[in-house]
């Protein structure tokens, strides 16, 4: 339909639990959680394992590669954009946007890679673009 | 403990307004309460249990105060638009446990007068809501979230926009007989697929209306229901569930209706084949499709073929649905369609639906609601009711 333009992004409000995630984002790295008891990765990250409710979790850096699980190009927005779930190579999915491409390029199953987009006065936001 | 046969819906009222700039939120709730109590033949001071959701801004205490209710039981469970179905279930449980005798459920709101862009702007989240900081910048709205569910359904099951459009077409066939419906015009599949895209693959006519208004229900125990002289609508099964992102292992192909429906059918001791009429939450056409599959009315992935060719139209198809025109064409007060879902099921069981859409010998009905964000975290609630 059209080239997707950059738009103003509402900044996140980090807290003590998530400070490391947003600090890594400043360095261009996407952190996800891993439960050390089960070995399973998870998203969004938290300091409590969503599999055991224990604190036995660690941060791991995602490769930044994934595929589009589903998406919708929101034509009826002031600045149209594409929301998506991207399935990371590590397993979990991220609710994100697909950026820096034409909306016609976006498809379920398409390989994508991580890019960061600035938020309005806050840390950068992890988004994805076609490989 | 089962609720089967322990409680009856004796009062149901849908506010006739669809735009209420001159009414307050509390006034709408109170008018709905008065309407449902009058329908039941009960008075305000008969109420001893009150149920409301997040649309009652300020909470149950504020609304109990406004209406001057004298209560011994209260429940303000909130799971978005399906909350009234949960409230009816909880009311039946409370009545069965002896916690109250006459339960009042109200819902109202005025998003239309307030100029709310319901589907296309994000709902505000508190920064402390655990998911907020990871999702707010992504701008998940109601429309684009449900659209992602539709996109995945199309990808996995080859569902088409034309099949989804049949859901709107069926709702419009029913709405033409409802003098209060916001969209009483009959539409065609072509009208739906040629309407502008809101968020791919959903069109403007795949979306529900934005309306002011509300409704209320009165639930009571058998001894009181017996004395009221109204057709008796017995609650025989209910279920509720929450489904979410599962720590990142998302599956958009099914909803909380799988768990809620299973529980309700088990409690009621009936199967989908027994159901004569369904009220199915219709925030979008895709919402209906996923729920019909999840509740077991057809196989997963076959919903597109099931809803096509008028199969949801009363007098035409196998599964008459939303005979008031639903949220898609009639009314979606407070952006919460759960209340009107129960009300139309009650009308059908009483034989009080519009004659053009009344299901013959409608002895068993199901109402199901989906609340919050289907693509991220949502509630689902099912009620099965029978005419005695």
pLDDT in tens, B279-290: 999 999 999 999
Average pLDDT for chain B: 97
Burial class (CB in 10 A: 0-12, 13-18, 19+), B141: buried
What Rg do the C-alpha atoms of chain A give, in angstroms? 15
- Yes or no, beta carbons of A42 and B252 under 8 Å apart: no
pLDDT at position B122: 84
In a domain, residue A5? The reply is no
Contact assessment for residue B325 and residue B72, using Cβ atoms and an 8 Å cutoff:
no
Contact B242, B128 (CB under 8 A): no
What is the DSSP code (8-state) at residue B328?
I
**Numbered residues of chain B with Cβ closer than 8 Å to any chain A Cβ:** 120, 127-128, 130-141, 143-145, 147-152, 155, 196-202, 245, 247-250, 252, 375-376
* pLDDT value of residue A13: 94
CB atoms within 10 A of CB B249: 15
Instruction: Give chain A's largest Cα–Cα span.
Output: 46
Return left, alpha or beta for A39; rule: phi > 0 is left, psi -120 to 50 is alpha, else beta: left
**8 Å CB contact between A43 and B248:** yes
Q: Enumerate residues 6+ apart whose C-beta is below 8 A from A22.
A: A12, A14, A122, A123, B133
Tell whether A108 is covered by a domain.
yes
Give the pLDDT band of residue B211 (cuts 50, 70, 90): very high
DSSP chain A: --BPPP---PPP---TTTHHHHHHHHTT--EEEEETTT--EESS--SS-TTT-SS-EEEEE--SEEEEEEEEEE-SSSS-EEEEEEEETTS-EEEEEE-SSBGGG--TT-EEEEEEE--SSS--EEEEEE-
Answer whether residue B33 is part of any domain. Answer: yes
Task: Specify the CATH number for the domain of residue B265.
Answer: 3.40.47.10
**Could you report the per-residue pLDDT of B164-203, keeping only the tens digit for each?**
999 999 999 999 999 999 999 999 999 999 999 999 999 9
Chain A contact set for B152 (CB, 8 A): 69-70, 108
Total number of domains constituting chain B:
1
Would residue B154 count as lying in a domain? no
Using the predicted structure, report yes or no on whether residue B118 has a pLDDT greater than 90: no
Residues of chain A with pLDDT under 70: none
Q: Name chain B contacts of A40, Cβ cutoff 8 Å.
A: 247
Would you say residue B188 lies in a domain? no
Which domain, by its residues, includes B108? 8-115+207-387
At residue B121, the pLDDT reads 85
For residue A95, give its domain range: 19-130
- A1 within a domain of the structure (yes/no): no
Interface test with A, best of B124, B142, B199 (most A CBs within 10 A): B199
- Is there a contact between A85 and B148 if contact means CB atoms under 8 Å apart? yes
Going by pLDDT thresholds of 50, 70 and 90, the confidence category of residue B119 is confident
Instruction: Give the CATH number of the domain where residue A110 resides.
Output: 2.40.50.840
Q: Is residue A118 assigned to a domain? A: yes
pLDDT at residue B139 tops 80: yes
Tell me the per-residue pLDDT of B289-317, one tens digit each, with 9 for 90 and over.
999 999 999 999 999 999 999 999 999 99
Beta-strand relationship, A125-130 and B8-14 = unpaired
- B181: in domain: no
């Amino acid at each position: 339909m059209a080239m997707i333009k950059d738009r103003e992004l509402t900044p996140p409000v980090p807290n003590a639990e998530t400070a490391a995630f947003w600090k890594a984002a400043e360095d261009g790295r996407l952190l996800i959680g891993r439960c050390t008891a089960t070995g399973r990765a998870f998203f969004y990250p938290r300091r409590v394992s969503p599999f055991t409710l224990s604190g036995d979790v660690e941060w791991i850096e995602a490769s930044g590669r994934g595929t589009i699980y589903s998406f919708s190009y929101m034509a009826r927005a002031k600045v149209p954009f594409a929301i998506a779930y991207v399935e990371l190579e590590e397993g979990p999915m991220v609710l994100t946007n697909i950026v820096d491409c034409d909306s016609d390029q976006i498809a379920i199953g398409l390989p994508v890679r991580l890019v960061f987009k600035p938020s309005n006065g806050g840390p950068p936001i992890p988004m994805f673009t076609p490989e | 403990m089962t609720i089967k046969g322990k409680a009856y819906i004796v009062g149901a009222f849908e506010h006739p307004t669809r735009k209420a700039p001159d009414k307050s939120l509390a006034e709408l709730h109170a008018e709905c309460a008065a309407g449902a109590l009058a329908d039941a033949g009960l008075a305000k001071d008969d109420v001893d249990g009150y149920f409301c959701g997040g649309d009652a801004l300020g909470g149950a205490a504020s609304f109990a105060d406004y209406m001057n209710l004298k209560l011994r039981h209260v429940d303000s469970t909130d799971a978005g638009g399906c909350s009234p179905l949960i409230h009816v279930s909880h009311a039946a449980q409370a009545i069965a446990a002896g916690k109250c005798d006459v339960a009042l459920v109200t819902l109202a709101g005025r998003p239309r007068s307030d100029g709310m862009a319901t589907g296309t702007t994000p709902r505000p989240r508190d920064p402390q809501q655990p998911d907020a900081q990871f999702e707010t910048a992504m701008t998940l709205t109601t429309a684009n979230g449900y659209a992602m569910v539709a996109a995945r359904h199309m990808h996995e099951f080859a569902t088409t926009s034309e099949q989804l459009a049949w859901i709107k077409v069926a709702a419009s066939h029913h709405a033409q007989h409802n003098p209060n419906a916001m969209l009483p015009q009959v539409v065609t599949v072509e009208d739906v697929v040629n309407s502008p895209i809101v968020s791919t693959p959903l069109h403007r006519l795949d979306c529900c209306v934005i309306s002011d208004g509300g409704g209320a229900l009165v639930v009571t125990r058998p001894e009181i229901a017996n004395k009221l002289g109204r057709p008796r609508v017995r609650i025989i099964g209910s279920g509720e569930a929450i489904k979410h992102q599962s720590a990142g292992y998302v599956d958009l192909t099914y909803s909380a209706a799988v768990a809620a429906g299973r529980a309700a059918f088990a409690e009621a001791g009936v199967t989908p084949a027994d159901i004569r009429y369904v009220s199915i939450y219709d925030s979008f056409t895709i919402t209906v499709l996923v729920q019909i599959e999840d509740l077991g009315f057809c196989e997963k992935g076959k919903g597109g073929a099931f809803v096509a060719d008028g199969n949801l139209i009363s007098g035409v198809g196998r599964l008459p649905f939303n005979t008031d025109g639903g949220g898609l064409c009639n009314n979606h007060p407070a952006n919460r369609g759960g209340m009107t879902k129960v009300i139309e099921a009650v009308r059908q069981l009483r034989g009080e639906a519009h004659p053009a859409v009344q299901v013959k010998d409608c002895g068993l009905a199901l109402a199901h609601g989906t609340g919050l964000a289907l693509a991220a975290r949502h509630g689902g609630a099912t009620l099965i009711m029978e005419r005695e």
